[in-house]
Amino acid sequence: MAYTLNVGTCDCENNVVDKTSSLHLGQDISCVMVNTDSLNPIFKVDGTRSGSNYCYCSEFGRFYFIESVEALAGGHCLYHCHVDVLHTYRTQIKNLECFVSRNEKIANWKREYADRLIPVTNNRSGISKPIGSARLGGDDVYLLGYF
C-alpha cells in the first residue's frame, strides 16, 4: 500500500507537547511501508532526502521522528521512524482535566495539593502582647493581640 508522508524538520526538543510553531513541513512524498509496525515504521522513499528529521503520515494521523535514513541502491532510501506521541495527541493532552499531585516548582505549590515531598515552611512570625485583662469567675483572662 502506498502512503503519503509530509516531510520536513522540527526545531524543538522531543519532549515538547505542542510543536506546531517549530514544525517546517511541506514536502509531500509517496512511499511504501516496509514493516507493519505503525509506532516504529520504516518507509521506503524514492530519492534521497537529507536534512529531514520529522514527518506526518496522513493515513495513520500520526507525527513521527525520523531517527535515521538508510541509503539503498537505485536512488531509494529507508526512513526509520518513531511515533511522536506528545505532538500526535497534543489536543487530548492539553484538554485533559486531572488532579496534579506532584509539582516541580515550589513557587507554583498550592495548599490543596497534598504533596508531602515538597518542603513547606512557614515564614511568618508573630509577637504576642497582652492588650488587656479581665476577671471571670476568679480566673484571670488575658486578651492577646497578634502583630
DSSP string, 31-59: EEESSS-SSS-EEEEES--TT--EEEETT
Evaluate whether residue 114 is within a structural domain. Answer: no
Domain that holds residue 26: 2-93
Kindly state whether residue 112 falls inside one of the protein's structural domains: no
Q: Does some domain include residue 26? A: yes
Tally of structural domains, the chain: 1
For the chain, 147 residues long, give each residue's pLDDT as a single digit of tens.
789 999 999 999 998 999 988 999 988 899 999 998 999 999 999 876 668 899 999 999 999 999 999 989 888 999 999 999 999 999 998 888 776 666 566 666 555 555 566 555 656 556 555 555 555 555 665 555 554
Q: Is 139 within a domain?
A: no
b/e sequence 98-121, b meaning 16+ C-beta within 10 Å: eeeeeeeeeeeeeeeeeeeeeeee
Q: How many other CB atoms sit within 10 Å of the CB of residue 90? A: 17
> Is the pTM above the cut of 0.75?
no
Domain presence at residue 54 = yes
Domain membership flag for residue 28: yes
